[in-house]
Structure 1
Amino acid sequence: MLQTMPGSARLCLIAGVLVLSLSLLNALTAGEFPPALQRAEVLAGMASVGLMLVAALWTRAIPRAAEAAKLSGEQGFQINDALDGALALELAWGSHQFLTATSAASMLVMWDGHVLLRRGLITSDAFVPGAICARARERQELISLVKTALYPGREEFDPVLPGLPSLMVHPLGQRGWVVLGGWSERCFTRSDERWLAGWCERLRTTLDSVGGGIQESHPCPQPGS
């Protein structure tokens, strides 16, 4: 336990235990126990307990970061080959930024029933939006699953990547979604959420402008991510 505590908290805990030990030793070896000694022992005990409490609170204030999960999947970049150049460039740019500047491990973009992009760790399984995606579309707001193990229905996102420890799902109006999976639990920040919401609004506007021009096609695999 001591090895996992911050240095300052560890020092505070050791000082508290030392003060308590010396206080007990002093009380046990004292021949007499006058009121002055009793008051001193009480104060020493309170001081030692206070130091240990500070150490415990200090540890909680600096929590250890969650470890990255061991995720299965192939590192890749698949983009729908029916997209025009400007839209493909927007998707490529945005996905690159999220996968390099945040703790995202995988991204999927769906529009009008077609998967436009998969990037990061990906699978070849067909993604079918379920209850969580429907709720995001109904509310027209981001849904963040900070610890997917606690949420029923998380299997909906196994086709994106099995075992994702955290997820963000943002609707693209009524016609699509962006799904962002993280490497570890609670890995996305408020800043990441705001950034995703802003980019999704920009992407939705771009997709609306192309109308129904996106046709069914096989994704075009690209090297790397």
Structure 2
Amino acid sequence: MEIYLPLFPLNLVVYPNEDLNLHIFEERYRQLIAECLEKGQTFGIPAFINNKLPGYGTEMSVTTLHKRYDDGRMDIKSKGIRIFKVANFENPSPGKLYAGGTVQVVEVEPETGDHLDELIVKLTRLYRLLQIKSEIDEETPLLSFRVAHKIGLSVEDEYELLTIDHENERQRFLIRHLDRVLPVVSEMERTKDRIKMNGHFKNLDPLKF
């Protein structure tokens, strides 16, 4: 399905169901958000990476206007709805200050995935090493999107995850990343422990040689 969306390119990746707070200060985006609020329409955030629009993004709805400043700036809360791929980009959109374009909606099934147990084990180990409270809900569909910002992915990796069609493949992608990251984090934690011991009295066992 193709639809036309006002577009707000940003150097970040947003996933479906993700909440995103934005401070709107540029005139073109003040116009975009004002129209979304007035008409109840959605807008799109295509990822802008390495000074390019590679194509994928997320349709957003404005859920809350937190504050409107005297000079027209706004603080808003928005929420990701669904993924799209840009088919035609216009800058500016006809008669507007902001960009727009025709986008192809990407349908994403709310799967739990077949690699959930392995992913949960590795996520739990990472959070334990980092001493971060784990708030993983195993019953959450599309868990890969919910945890993607919390495991040290680069923006390029986050974008690649957005383009993967199925939850099974996304989970495998995250597992491969965690397999690379966990040994590094584990070694860093051991190094921290060794540094903490430096300068303290130690009870060392006698060596036998």
- TM-score (structure 2 length as normaliser): 0.22
**RCO comparison, higher one (Cα < 8 Å, 6+):** 1
Structure number with the higher strand fraction is: 2
